[in-house]
Chain A
Amino acid sequence: MADIVLNEVSKSFGAVSVLDKVSMHIKSGEFIVFLGPSGCGKSTLLRMIAGLEQVSEGEIFIGDRRVDQLPPNERGVSMVFQNYALYPHMSVRDNMSFGLQNVGTPKDEIARRVDEAARMLEIGQLLDRKPAQLSGGQRQRVAIGRAIVREPVAFLLDEPLSNLDAGLRVRTRVELAQLHHRIGTTMIFVTHDQTEAMTLASRIVVMNNRRIEQIGKPMEIYSRPASRFVAAFVGSPAMNFLPVTGVSDAGGFAAISFAGQGPVTTTVPFTDIPKDKLTFGIRAEAARISREGQGVTGVVDVVERLGERTLVYVSLPDGTPLIAEDEGVSAVEPGQTVHIAIDGGAGIIFDEPGKAYHAAK
Chain B
Amino acid sequence: MIRNHRGEVAIAYLFILPFVLTYGVLFLWPTLQMVYLSFTDAPLIGPGEWIGFENYVEMFDDRRFWTSVKNTAYFVALTVIPNTLIGLAIAMMVSRLKGWQQSLILAMFFLPYILPVSVVYRIWNWMFNLQFGIMQYPLTWVFGKPTPVFRTQWMFMPAVAFVTIWWTCGFNILLFLSGLRSISTDIYEAAALDNASRWTIFRRITWPLIWPVTALVLTIQLILQLKIFDQVYLFVQGGRPDPSMVLVQYIYSQAFQKNQGGYAAAIAVALFVIVIVFSVLQFQLLRARGEK
Q: Chain B: interface secondary structure?
A: helix
Residue A83 interfacial (CB < 8 Å): yes
Task: Determine the distance from Cα of A73 to Cα of B195 in the docked complex, in whole angstroms.
Answer: 5
User: Are A73 and B193 in contact, with the CB atoms below 8 A?
Assistant: yes
- Tell me which of A50, A85, A103 contacts B195 (CB under 8 A): A103
Bound CA–CA A99/B204 (angstroms): 12
The reply to whether B184 and A85 form a contact with Cβ atoms under 8 Å apart is: yes
Bound complex: CA A50 to CA B188 (Å): 13
Q: Which residue of A lies closest to B193 (CB)?
A: A72
Which chain B residues border A72 with CB–CB below 8 Å? Answer: 189, 192-193
Which A residues lie within 8 Å of B190 (CB)? 79, 81, 85-87, 146
Please measure, in the bound complex, the distance between the C-alpha atom of A99 and the C-alpha atom of B194, giving whole angstroms: 4
Is A89's beta carbon under 8 Å from chain B? yes
* Mask of B198-210 contacts with A, CB within 8 angstroms, 1/0: 0010001100110
Give the CA-CA distance A98 to B200 in the complex, in Å.
10
Chain A: minimal CB distance from B191 (Å): 7
Contact assessment for A102 and B197 in the assembled complex, using a CB-CB cutoff below 8 Å: yes
How many contacts A-B (CB < 8 Å)? Answer: 58
Interface string of A51-79 (1 = CB under 8 A from B): 11000000000000000000111000111
Given contacts A85-B186, A98-B204, A102-B200, contact A71 B192 (CB under 8 A): yes
Rounded to whole Å, the gap between the CB of A155 and the closest CB of chain B is 11
Q: Are B195 and A79 in contact (CB under 8 A)?
A: no
Among A79, A83, A86, A89, point to the contact of B193 (Cβ < 8 A).
Answer: A79
27 interchain pairs (CB within 8 A)? A50-B193, A51-B193, A52-B189, A52-B192, A52-B193, A71-B192, A73-B193, A77-B193, A78-B193, A79-B189, A81-B186, A81-B189, A85-B186, A87-B191, A87-B205, A88-B187, A88-B209, A89-B208, A89-B209, A98-B194, A98-B196, A99-B193, A99-B194, A99-B195, A102-B194, A103-B195, A150-B194
Chain A residues within CB distance 8 Å of chain B: 50-52, 71-73, 77-79, 81, 83, 85-89, 98-99, 102-103, 146, 150
Besides A51-B193, A87-B204, 19 other A-B contacts (C-beta < 8 A):
A72-B192, A73-B195, A73-B196, A81-B190, A83-B184, A85-B184, A85-B186, A85-B187, A85-B190, A87-B187, A87-B191, A98-B191, A98-B194, A99-B193, A99-B194, A99-B195, A102-B195, A102-B196, A150-B194
